[in-house]
Each structure stands twice: as C-alpha cells, then as structure tokens.
Amino acid sequence: MDKGSLYLIPVPLAEDAAKASYTYLHQDVINSIQEYVVENEKTARKFLKEAGLKRPQSELIIHDYGKHQREKVDYQKLFASALQGKDIGLMSEAGCPAIADPGSEVVAEAHKRGIRVIPMVGPNSILLSLMASGFNGQQFSFYGYLPIDKGARTKKIKDLEQHSQREKATQIFIETPFRNNQLLTDLLKSCKPQTQLCIACNITGSDEYIATKTLAKWKDEKIDLHKKPCIFLLYAG
C-alpha cells in the first residue's frame, strides 16, 4: 500500500490577510484532506473556513501539537492514517510550518517513516521582510530570539553587526512583541550610526509597516512597536 503525504500548509500572518495568503491549490488540498496536525486548533479551523473548506468541520480529525502537548505526542498514532495511504496536513499558528516553528519535529518524524513531505507556497515573515529590506538576499542568517540578559544581548548585537560587516551578510532576528521597544533601544545604543536596520512590522496586515534606515536616522524616529509582531534585520556590509 502506498503511503499518504504530509502537506505543509501555511496560514495567514495577520488577522485580515487571508485572501493574500492562499491559492487555488490550498483549496484543492484542504478539501481533499480530513486530518490535520496543528499548533493552534482555533487558528487552524478559522483558516480552513476562510480558505474555502467545504467539508463539515465536525468531520475533521485534529491532532493537537501545541506547546503543552508536544512532549506527549505518539508519532506512530499521529501518522497511522498516512501510513495507511491517507494524506494529512500540518499547520502552524501563523506563517509557514517548520520555519521558526516546532512543526519541524513533525516533518522530521515523517521522513523517518518514509512519508512524502510536500511544502506549499505561503507567507513567511522572515523571507518577506528580507525581500522588502533592500539588504543582501544572497547571504543571510536568522537567529530567532536574542538573549534576554542585557549584557548577553548587547554582546550578541555587536557580534551580529561585526559578522554582517565582515561577511556582507544580513542578520535577521525577532523578539517577543511586548519587548520590541526595548530591543530597538538596545540596537540604537549598541550599533554604529552608519549600520542599517530594517523593521518589518505586522507583515501582510492592514497596518503593515516596513522601513529601512541607518541607526543614526532611527534615533530621530518616534515609533511604537509594543505588542506588534516584528522582524528586525541588521546590515553593516
């Protein structure tokens, strides 16, 4: 018996960005799949409805892969249908599954079982911000969250700046939304005036904000990033 496939299904990054986040292929795939692995069931069900799901949601089989369930997952049970020939879908809470997302563990387990993995086109805040930054898209690194400790964070920022200058590479990182303003303050204090910083905020949302300036110019800006999803990109090349 042929095995099913694991489809990696992206979901919108912003509340009002559904139509900009899926294609006709999404509609075809979600209407052929009955079983999903999701990080947030509410987010997943909402997206499926917006993307054109025709099947009654009561018929769906949802596997919870949220942070409180992850360590308890029985992967043999999770992939039972796929091993019997049925396709299943993996969805993140926002954006593309497995990119800065714990879904990568599900993908790794699928490969171990010889299950085909099919990534679908969709919004990814890291790549969208890099595209819009004007920075080097040939050499770049994503670091996730910087250290919380102030001393360690300052050292990391300076290390990233030096690496960017030495390698002509774009440095990309994020912060918990309620600490965005503090991170910006630390960047302004730690980086050289001529180093460039791009801030990409609420990408694909109605209030999307993306701007690239030198640190010297950012010091003259009054911007409030509190509780807004942001990507920070540093370039000193």
DSSP codes of every residue in 169-221: -EEEEE--GGGHHHHHHHHHHHS-TT-EEEEEESTTSTT-EEEEEEHHHHTT-
Tokens for 149, please give them: 């400790």
Please compute the mean of the pLDDT values over residues 126-139 and round it to a whole number: 97
Please compute the mean of the pLDDT values over residues 67-81 and round it to a whole number: 86
Indicate if the pLDDT at residue 1 is higher than 80. no
pLDDT tens-digit map of 15-40: 888 777 888 888 899 999 999 999 88
Indicate if the pLDDT at residue 84 is higher than 80. yes
Please compute the mean of the pLDDT values over residues 200-206 and round it to a whole number: 94
pLDDT band at 76; cut points 50, 70, 90: very high
At 82 the pLDDT is: 97
Rounded to an integer, what distance in angstroms lies between the CA atom of residue 64 and that of residue 70?
8
Tokens for 104, please give them: 């990568």
Q: Where are the alpha helices (DSSP H) in 79-140?
A: 80-83, 103-112, 125-133
At 22 the pLDDT is: 80
Read off φ and ψ for residue 89, nearest 5 degrees.
-120, 150
At 66 the pLDDT is: 77
Rounded to an integer, what distance in angstroms lies between the CA atom of residue 154 and that of residue 175?
14
Rounded to an integer, what distance in angstroms lies between the CA atom of residue 187 and that of residue 158?
9
Enter the pTM of the model: 0.91
Q: What angle do CA 115, 118, 124 make, to 5 degrees?
A: 135
Indicate if the pLDDT at residue 118 is higher than 80. yes
At 157 the pLDDT is: 98
E-assigned strand segments in 68-165: 88-91, 116-119, 140-145
At 123 the pLDDT is: 93
At 224 the pLDDT is: 94
Q: Report the chain's terminal Cα–Cα distance, integer Å.
A: 54
